[in-house]
């Protein structure tokens, strides 16, 4: 079995190397597993003959921490990790998180805020001329000017602030190899303006062809409407077949230019990438600290696909992985599963088989293969497109093969399934098999809300589709004598949701007899339509005004309404109901969300009693009560 990549000069010398071609700097701990982007990129480069040194979570206050391998022959590759560093650090209420699942022992504070920028500036202080290429989710979603929730400001392209030479967006395998080959052949980093899936800086647009010029950064800062228009132009240019170059002006500093996306991976390429010699473990140096918690969630899971044509407005997948499905073959997944069963701590359970959406296993329609995705139409929203191919047979076949492997007791489907895609399938077979074999008591789905007003802004199907799914799910479970439930993921404070809609959701939960343990308050992360709505107050698709619950206190009230049974939320729920004019939901009736508290009830009873006495006395004296 292959070794971990070198993490020190000692490791490098053991391999007989006097230098490395690339140093990969990562905000996460070093985990050599294909669910971690850093592992994929480094193993892909290794497979193409490049020597890689790995520096995980360097001390950003110490210049020596990025000099472990000395100056690399070709350049530095920098990523903040599997998450945007700000999402990793802060809750939606901007409070510090208590754990970092991507650090040894779950300890926080191992990476800086805005990690990509900080790491690059540290490198630039030491190595003035060495090429720096940035990538990963943080760089990918901040590749052009963007709204930053944590500073509540419009930020430059991350390429400007980081002083990096080149940015890779998307998953990056094609782009990184092309860059490495070009640098190895002697082409200068400043001449790499032609690689798909990259963003570069330039003083002039003379060498750029067939491009769309976006509003300047200055205009974006001055006019939110301009940002909404710019964002939608970017959104419509995320497909490898239809996208054009985008140029964003920065005054005297020149332009940031985004090349069209890299071509989607073929099935053969997907198979090759996921079958590289990963150790499927965290680096042994973390053992004394208890390992890396994030690995526990995915160690016995299989990635079967990439991309998503679901198109939820609060999701950044369109900007990162794209809407075109890329899938692995059954044979490749079976080989990985067989290796998994040989691991000492495998207990017989494959925890998940999926991707962004588990039950997507092919492109949305045949047309996409030739013409690309429709720039201004969604596949499932507001209703499934007539051209949509609805077929679960391939996924079911894969799941059946996996559960028949020796040593496998059960295969679970824990990635989200699109219930509207299930409802578009007139055949019950998928839902039957799912209920019989691949869930255990609970199925997690994401209706997100029950108000159609809010669902429209989320890009999600209307509530009646979800209700129809629940009926179908219950019917099938009853048929097989199973008592299994649906656990809904719900979101509060999404653009479009006022207190009226939040109360509607609370009433729905009351009627359901269910209070979720966890609620996701809408989190404005870079490069989503919903975040654009949050910042601008406009729907960038229609340019219509959208109500945005941005006040922290209102957001707290909306969140509390979903968990109205929690005594700690009483005051917030009461305030929300009063502000919404729904005092009818405060009291002792069946329909009430909260009761009058005892002290308040006594006070009300005493007042009523006094009023009654006054009326009685007035009556005797002949006066009007």
pLDDT at 116 over 90: yes
Residue 616: band (very low, low, confident or very high) from pLDDT cuts 50, 70, 90: very low
pLDDT at 201 over 90: yes
Whole-number Å distance between alpha carbons of 4 and 450: 48
pLDDT digits (tens, 9 = 90+) for 474-521: 999 999 999 999 999 999 999 999 999 999 999 999 998 888 877 899
Residue 349 is predicted with a pLDDT of 97
Residue 440 is predicted with a pLDDT of 87
pLDDT at 603 over 70: no
Residue with the bigger pLDDT between 219 and 617: it is: 219
Whole-number Å distance between alpha carbons of 503 and 488: 17
Q: What is the largest CA-CA distance in the chain?
A: 110
pLDDT at 615 over 50: no
Q: What's the helix, strand, coil split of the chain in %, to 5?
A: 40, 15, 45
Burial class (CB in 10 A: 0-12, 13-18, 19+), 441: exposed
Instruction: Determine contact, residues 248/157, Cβ cutoff 8 Å.
Output: yes
Pure H helices in 17-135: 37-47, 85-89, 115-126
* Cα-based torsion angle of the residue sequence 318, 197, 355, 334 in order, rounded to the nearest 10 degrees: 160
pLDDT at 333 over 50: yes
* First and final C-alpha spacing in the chain: 93
pLDDT at 613 over 90: no
Residue 297 is predicted with a pLDDT of 86
Q: Which of 269, 238, 267, 283 is nearest to 103 (CA)?
A: 283
Residues 6+ apart with CB under 8 A from 266: 326
SS3 58: coil
Give me the sign of the Cα torsion angle 423, 425, 426, 428.
Answer: negative
Residue 600: band (very low, low, confident or very high) from pLDDT cuts 50, 70, 90: low
Q: Which of 308, 267, 286 is nearest to 33 (CA)?
A: 286
Whole-number Å distance between alpha carbons of 147 and 153: 6
pLDDT at 611 over 70: no
pLDDT digits (tens, 9 = 90+) for 409-418: 999 999 889 9
- Degrees to nearest 5, angle at CA 447 with 442 and 449: 130
pLDDT at 191 over 70: yes
Superfamily of domain 9-258: Cobalamin-binding domain (3.40.50.280)
pLDDT digits (tens, 9 = 90+) for 384-398: 999 999 999 999 999
% of the chain residues with pLDDT over 90? 92
Whole-number Å distance between alpha carbons of 619 and 145: 74
pLDDT digits (tens, 9 = 90+) for 421-442: 999 999 999 999 999 999 988 9
Kind and range of the H or E run holding 395? helix 393-403
pLDDT at 301 over 90: yes
Tokens (6 digits) for 544: 């219509």
Residues 6+ apart with CB under 8 A from 42: 5, 24, 52, 54
pLDDT at 298 over 50: yes
Over residues 588-603, the mean pLDDT reads 79
Tokens (6 digits) for 178: 């092309």
CATH architecture, range 441-594: 2-Layer Sandwich (3.30)
Q: Which residues of 209-241 are buried (b: 16+ CB within 10 A; e: fewer)?
A: eebbebbbbebbbeebbbbbbbbbbbbbbbbbe
Residue 609 is predicted with a pLDDT of 62
């Amino acid at each position: 079995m292959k070794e971990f990549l070198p993490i020190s000069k000692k490791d490098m010398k053991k391999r007989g190397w006097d230098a490395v071609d690339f140093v990969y700097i990562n905000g996460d701990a070093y985990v050599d597993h294909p669910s971690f982007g850093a592992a994929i990129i480094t193993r892909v480069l290794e497979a193409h003959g490049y020597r890689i040194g790995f520096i995980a979570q360097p001390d950003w206050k110490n210049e020596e921490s990025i000099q472990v391998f000395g100056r690399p022959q070709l350049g530095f590759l920098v990523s903040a990790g599997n998450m945007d560093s700000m999402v990793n650090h802060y809750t939606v209420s901007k409070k510090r998180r208590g754990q970092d699942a991507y650090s040894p022992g779950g300890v926080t504070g191992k990476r800086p805020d805005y990690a990509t920028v900080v790491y690059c500036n540290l490198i630039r202080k030491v190595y003035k001329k060495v090429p720096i290429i940035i990538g990963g989710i943080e760089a990918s979603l901040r590749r052009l000017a963007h709204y930053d929730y944590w500073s509540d400001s419009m930020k430059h392209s991350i390429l400007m602030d980081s002083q990096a030479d080149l940015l890779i967006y998307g998953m990056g395998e094609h782009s990184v190899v092309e860059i490495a080959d070009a640098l190895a052949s002697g082409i200068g980093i400043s001449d790499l303006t032609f690689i798909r899936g990259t963003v570069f800086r330039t003083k002039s647009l003379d060498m750029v062809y067939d491009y769309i010029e976006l509003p300047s950064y200055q205009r974006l800062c001055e006019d939110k409407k301009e940002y909404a228009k710019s964002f939608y132009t970017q959104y419509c240019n995320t497909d490898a077949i239809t996208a054009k170059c985008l140029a964003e002006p920065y005054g005297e500093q020149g332009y940031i230019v985004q090349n069209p996306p890299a071509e989607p991976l073929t099935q053969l390429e997907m198979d090759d990438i996921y079958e590289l010699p990963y150790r499927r473990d965290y680096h042994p140096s973390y053992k004394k600290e208890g390992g890396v918690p994030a690995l526990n969630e995915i160690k016995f899971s299989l990635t079967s696909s990439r991309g998503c044509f679901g198109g939820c407005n609060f999701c950044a997948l369109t900007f990162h992985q794209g809407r075109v499905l890329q899938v692995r073959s059954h044979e490749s997944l079976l080989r990985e599963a067989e290796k998994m069963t040989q691991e000492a701590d495998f207990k017989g359970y494959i925890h998940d088989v999926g991707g962004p959406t588990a039950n997507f296993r092919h492109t949305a329609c045949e047309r996409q293969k030739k013409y690309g995705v429709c720039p201004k139409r969604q596949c499932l929203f507001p209703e499934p497109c007539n051209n949509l191919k609805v077929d679960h047979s391939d996924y079911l076949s894969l799941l059946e093969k996996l559960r028949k492997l020796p040593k496998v007791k059960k295969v679970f489907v824990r990635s989200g399934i699109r219930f509207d895609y299930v409802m578009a399938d007139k055949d019950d077979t998928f839902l039957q098999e799912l209920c019989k074999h691949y869930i255990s008591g609970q199925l997690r789905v994401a209706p997100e809300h029950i108000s159609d007003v809010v669902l429209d802004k989320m890009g999600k199907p209307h509530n009646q589709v979800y209700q129809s799914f629940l009926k179908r799910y219950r019917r099938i479970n009853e048929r097989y004598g199973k008592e299994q439930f649906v656990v809904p993921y719900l979101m509060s404070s999404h653009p479009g949701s006022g207190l009226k809609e939040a109360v509607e959701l609370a009433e729905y939960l009351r009627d359901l007899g269910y209070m979720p343990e966890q609620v996701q308050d809408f989190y404005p992360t870079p490069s989503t339509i919903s975040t654009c709505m949050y910042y601008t107050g406009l729907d960038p698709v229609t340019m219509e005004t959208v109500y945005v619950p941005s006040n922290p206190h209102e957001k707290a009230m909306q969140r509390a309404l979903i968990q109205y049974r929690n005594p700690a939320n009483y005051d917030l729920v009461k305030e929300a109901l009063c502000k919404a004019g729904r005092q009818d939901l405060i009291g002792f009736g069946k329909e009430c969300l909260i009761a009058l508290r005892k002290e308040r009830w006594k006070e009300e009873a005493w007042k009523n009693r006094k009023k009654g006495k006054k009326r009685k006395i007035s009556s005797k004296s002949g006066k009007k009560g």
